[in-house]
Copies of this chain bind each other. A is one copy, B any other.
């Protein structure tokens, strides 16, 4: 069950208050744009989209803000082996499928893994906060062409 945009915004504004983070229009817009996105945009792409409604927004602010959000756990930096970082708003636990050809990133869920407990050696390594699966392959669209 995906949270509604409104729920996400409420959680967001609450998190800002909790963390003494000022609720600036830039932060709000960046968060909303990312929450609205179904792809996993890079900072640059997000910046381009936001420029429509906020022509003076700087790319640096997008990077800085995404970094801040990521530290608070409000957004995730998606692990890829690409050079540009991709972002998403933290939702329910999920994993990623990445096409080696077109680089498209798709979410999927896999409860079997979410519920599985990690091997003992991992627990003795330290404190875990996130386990994420990244599956690489080639999507049908690219296989056809």
Given that A77-B81, A113-B113, A116-B113 are known contacts, is A122 also in contact with B108, CB under 8 Å in the complex?
yes
- Is A79 a contact partner of B81 (Cβ separation < 8 A)? yes
Q: Mark A23-67, 1 if CB is under 8 A from B, else 0.
A: 000000000000000000000000000000000000000000000
Given that A79-B79, A134-B79 are known contacts, is A143 also in contact with B119, CB under 8 Å in the complex?
no
Instruction: Collect the chain B residues with CB atoms within 8 Å of residue A77's CB.
Output: 81
For this chain, the copies found in one complex come to 2
Given that A81-B85, A125-B97, A140-B125 are known contacts, is A118 also in contact with B130, CB under 8 Å in the complex?
no
Chain A interface size band reads 35 or more
Q: Is A139 an interface residue (CB 8 A)?
A: yes
Q: Mark A105-126, 1 if CB is under 8 A from B, else 0.
A: 0101110110010110110111
Q: Is A92 an interface residue (CB 8 A)?
A: no
Instruction: Collect the chain B residues with CB atoms within 8 Å of residue A137's CB.
Output: 125-130
Instruction: Collect the chain B residues with CB atoms within 8 Å of residue A126's CB.
Output: 99, 137-143
- Is A127 a contact partner of B138 (Cβ separation < 8 A)? yes
Instruction: Collect the chain B residues with CB atoms within 8 Å of residue A128's CB.
Output: 135-137
**Closest residue of chain B to A126, judged by CB?**
B139
Q: Is A14 an interface residue (CB 8 A)?
A: no
Report the separation of the CA atoms of residues A110 and B118 in the bound assembly, to the nearest whole angstrom.
8
- Report A's interface with B, CB cutoff 8 A: 77-81, 83, 85, 97, 99-100, 106, 108-110, 112-113, 116, 118-119, 121-122, 124-143
